Every structure is written in C-alpha cells, then in structure tokens.
Amino acid sequence: MRADVDVDQFTPDTIDILNLVTLVHAKGLKPEIIQKLLQYSPSPEMETRLLDDLVRKRNQHLLEEIQSHLLLSDNIMVPWGVAHMPGIAKEIQNLGFHLDETHEYMVIRFRWS
C-alpha cells in the first residue's frame, strides 16, 4: 500500500532543494547548473524544514497507515530508510508494542565488478 506523503505537503524550501538536487543528478555539474547552485539562497530554517518534511511528516503519515491496517493483518513490512527507523520504532512502542526478536533479511545485494 502507498504510505508516503505527496510532495504538495512539503514546504517551498524543501521543494527548492529537491529540485536543485534532481537537476544536478540529471544534468551533472554544467556551468549553468553551478550558477543556479551559487545563486541559491536557502532560508535559515531550511535544514529544519527539510528534515521535518522528509522524515517527520512522512513518519507520521506512515504511522497513521500502520494503525489503520493493524486490524487487517498480523504482519506489516515497512521498507523505509534508516533515518526513519528511530522515530518509527519509538512511536510503535508508544502504541504498546515491544521488541521481542529481530531478523536480518537481505533485500538488495549489489555486485561490484
């Protein structure tokens, strides 16, 4: 199921930085891209807003989805990144769950030539 937020819930600061990062990734460090990077002037709150959008808002929405599906399934898999896990684990424990055991699974294996 889709358990992520839509980018329309992100602040303009977050959208701006994501657009710049995407531009660098897609086009490389060409002179016109470097000029855009040099002209970019983030707000003083940009770092806080970015983390709020990319971690806190997404975690909160995910936790709402988890709660809505707990009655439907005994198993829920959350394939989210490591930055999300401390907040997700804390909130799940606040719901009354506790860690009983852990298992490690290989999800993706990269081969280096």
- Report in angstroms the alpha-carbon separations of 107 from 23, 46, 71, 104: 29, 33, 27, 9
pLDDT at 10: 96
Is 102 a member of any domain? Answer: no
Is 1 a member of any domain? Answer: no
Q: Which token pair is 49?
A: 């807003």
Is 70 a member of any domain? Answer: yes
Is 56 a member of any domain? Answer: yes
- From the CA atom positions of the chain, what is the Rg in Å? 18
Domain count, the chain: 1
- Condensed to tens digits (0 to 9), the pLDDT of residues 83-111 reads 999 999 999 999 888 888 888 888 788 88
% helix, strand, coil for the chain, step of 5: 55, 0, 45
pLDDT at 52: 95
- Per-residue pLDDT, averaged over 53-71, amounts to 92
Residue 27 clears pLDDT 70, i.e. is over it: yes
pLDDT at 37: 93
Is 13 a member of any domain? Answer: yes
